[in-house]
Every structure is written in C-alpha cells, then in structure tokens.
Amino acid sequence: MFNKLKEKLSGFTKSLSKQIDEKAVPVESTSNEAEEIPFDSSDESKKEQDVPSERSLKNDFYLNHEANSSIQEEQKKFGLVKKAKALVFERELILEEKDLEEPLWELQIALLESDIGLTVAEAITEAVKSELIGSRKKIGKDTTSIVEQALRNALYDVMSANIFDLDDYVKNAKKPVHIVFVGINGTGKTTTIAKIAKRFKDMGYSVVIAAGDTFRAGAIDQVQIHGDRVGVKVIKHREGGDPAAVVYDAMQYAKAHKNDIVLSDTAGRMHTNINLMEQLKKVCRVSAPDLIIFVDEAVAGNDAVERAAQFNEAVHINGSILTKTDADAKGGAAISIAYITGKPILFLGMGQGYDDLQKFDPKWFVDQIFN
C-alpha cells in the first residue's frame, strides 16, 4: 500500500543520510562525568552502573572496539574503573540551513509527486527542517534513523490532528447514533456504509441503514442488496423521494426498535453542483446527525482533497474515509485531507469485500510508510 509515497520518502531518507554521513566528524566524548572510581570486583551492581555496557555504547555511539578492550585491560591492571569518556568516540554534526536546502527541496517535490498538496508539503518540510537544523546532533553509525525520525514526527503531527475514535464515540453516545455519509458518485460510499454496518454489527450493535440516495437509478436496490448480505435492516422510499424523509423514517424506526446506530446513505453529488449541495445541507440540517463523514477514493489524489475541503465547508464533516487504497493510490491524499480539513481519517477501504476496512490510526499509518 502507498508504495509510491514509501519509495519517495525512502529516496529522501537515503540521500540526506548519506550527506550526514559524509559531513559527520568523529569527536572524543565531551562527557565531563569521567572520574576515577576504585574498582571493587565483588560489587557487580556498581560495576554495571558505572561502566556502560558494550551494548548500550553500541546503541548510542560509535564504538572503538580496540580502544575498548585495551582500556579494559588497563582498568583491570590499575584496579580502577573509568567512565565512558576514554572509551568512546562519538560522531557529531550540526546541520545548517544550506546543508538542508537541496534535500528539502527534493523532499517537497517527492511529496508533491505523491499527491500531497503544496501547503501540506510545505508544512511537512518545515517540520522536518526545524527538527534537523541547528542542533548539534550526536550520531551513531545509522544516520538514516535521524532523518527517518524527523520525517516520522512530521507526518505523525499532520495525521494526528484532532484525533477522534469513532468506536469510543459510538460506545458513549446517546443511541441511536446517527451518521450521514457524503461525497461524490462512485467513490464507494454505499459499499463503505455496508462495511461499517457489518463492523458495528460484529461488535454487537444493532444497525439500520437509511437508503438516502433516492436520486440515482438502482441505488435503492443496491443498498438493499448490501443490507441483505450483511444482515442489516434498510429503510427506503421510492426513487425520486425526499432523502430527508427517508432519513427521518430511519431514525423513527431505530428509536422505536431501540437500535443503536443509523447509517444514512446520500446521493453522490459534485461539490460544484450548487443545487445538490443545498439539498445535502437540508438533509443534514433536518436530520441533525451526530456525525457527518466524507467518503472519497484515495486514487483521486488532489481532486479528493479539493472535494474534502468543499464538503467540509458545506456541511462541516467530522472525519473522512478513503476508499480504494488497494488500487494504486499514492498515499498523499490521506495526509492532505487530514491536514486541509483538520479532521481525522477514520477508515481506509482496502478492497471490495465487506471486511476490507482498516481502522485508521496515525501511528499505524506512519509505520506503514516506513516499514
């Protein structure tokens, strides 16, 4: 998944870490903790405390093995334990603005080519820059980890804006919880509603679907088929009916039957179609949903980002779902949509099956990108 983004980011990590590697200079430890302590071989715990284990040194610093073993011999000879100072050769560097100019430019291009919008790409490169620049960095052998960590932090910060856990919300909310799904045609709204219906049903909730797409021919039958397959009641009217009325009926039904969740489908509409957007606003106003979720396809890239912004402006979405991540999505849309709307990505659609739905977690996402 998101191979393009992975490839681009790993290219940046490699080239900048190579540069760091070339620029880093070995220095003697500047630790001023070094002191001589009488060596008492009977006190193993003290020995452990005072002399960093070889493993911890290896993790943190560049370790000179030969120096290490010969100094240990010396220590034994003189009955003294010396702290790390004499043993350790660190490498360090201070990254300056000019060192980062070219790599960060490359990073920005890489992000743009992965469907990440300009403002978001700029925010990410700025975050990476401020993490890397200026500070004196002690580095070990593995320079890639410095770059990777800066990138991970930047992406995590963008993705974890306004974290919202739908499961917690549903658990604690007054029932029935009403969720409306919005977006353009063909992105996977109805399929996603069926997936979510199944997911909540599997968790023990009772779910009702409102067939609120009364506009497109065949939409009502389609949602009924999904409902039958996942074993969920569908409330529907005739084609061409008022979607707000269907949603209202579904809520009445759910209240009467003490159901937990109502998932309302809506007709797909272009964000540029003023009449249909007005109708959507009406549906949302009249039915006063607890949550409005925007659905779009990851493969649409920047178009999806543009649409997310417009739907958010029209009806104030609470989060987004990106479908078709199993197709060749570049991955950037997920990052951009979260950033632009300031609302979290809740799920990713990963296939056409009802279980092909991944709950979105920023940490999981960042791990995906770097693993």
The piece of 83-91, 126-134, 184-192, 280-288 that touches ligand GDP (CB under 6 A) is 184-192
Cβ–Cβ < 8 Å for 135, 142: no
323 contributes a contact to ligand GDP by CB under 6 A: yes
Binding to ligand GDP by CB under 6 A, coded x per residue (else -) over 138-177, reads ----------------------------------------
Q: Which of 113, 351, 354, 358 binds ligand GDP (CB under 6 A)?
A: 351
Using the rule CB under 6 A, which residue among 188, 227, 289, 344 binds ligand GDP? Answer: 188
Binding partner of residue 349 among ligand GDP, Mg ion, none, CB under 5 to 8 Å per kind?
ligand GDP
Tell me the three state secondary structure of residue 263: strand
| Near ligand GDP by CB under 6 A: residue from 95, 207, 246, 350 | 350
Backbone angles phi, psi at 61, to 5 degrees: -130, 170
Q: Which is nearer to ligand GDP, 152 or 189 (CB)?
A: 189
- The DSSP element (H or E) to which 305 belongs, if any, is helix 302-315
| Identity of residue 305 | V
Q: Which residues contact 236 (CB under 8 A, 6 or more apart)?
A: 210, 211, 220, 223, 224, 246
Instruction: Choose one: 49-57, 138-146, 182-190, 278-286; the region binding ligand GDP (CB under 6 A).
Output: 182-190
Per the structure block, which two tokens stand in for 219? 């939409």
What is the C-alpha to C-alpha distance for residues 123 and 128, in angstroms, rounded to an integer?
9
User: 212, 268, 319, 362: which one contacts ligand GDP (CB under 6 A)?
Assistant: 268
Give the residue from 141, 128, 179, 134 showing the smallest Cα distance to 294: 179
Residue 186 binds to ligand GDP (criterion: CB under 6 A):
yes
Q: In angstroms, give the least distance from the CB of 300 to ligand GDP.
A: 12
Nearer CB in complex with Mg ion: 17/190: 190
| Rounded least distance, CB 344 to ligand GDP, Å | 18
Report the distance separating Cα 157 and Cα 126, nearest Å: 12
327 near ligand GDP, rule: CB under 6 A: yes
Nearer to ligand GDP, 220 or 284 (CB): 220
Question: To the nearest 5 percent, what fractions of the chain are helix, strand and coil?
Answer: 55, 15, 30
The answer to whether the beta carbons of residues 151 and 264 sit under 8 Å apart is no
- Helices 219-230, 189-202: axis angle to 10 degrees equals 20
State the binding string over 159-198 for Mg ion (x if CB under 5 A, else -).
Answer: ------------------------------xx--------
Which token pair is 186? 């063909």
Dist CA 108 CA 293 (whole Å)? 30
For Mg ion, the binding residues (CB under 5 A) are 189-190
For ligand GDP, the binding residues (CB under 6 A) are 183, 185-191, 268, 323-324, 326-327, 349-352, 356
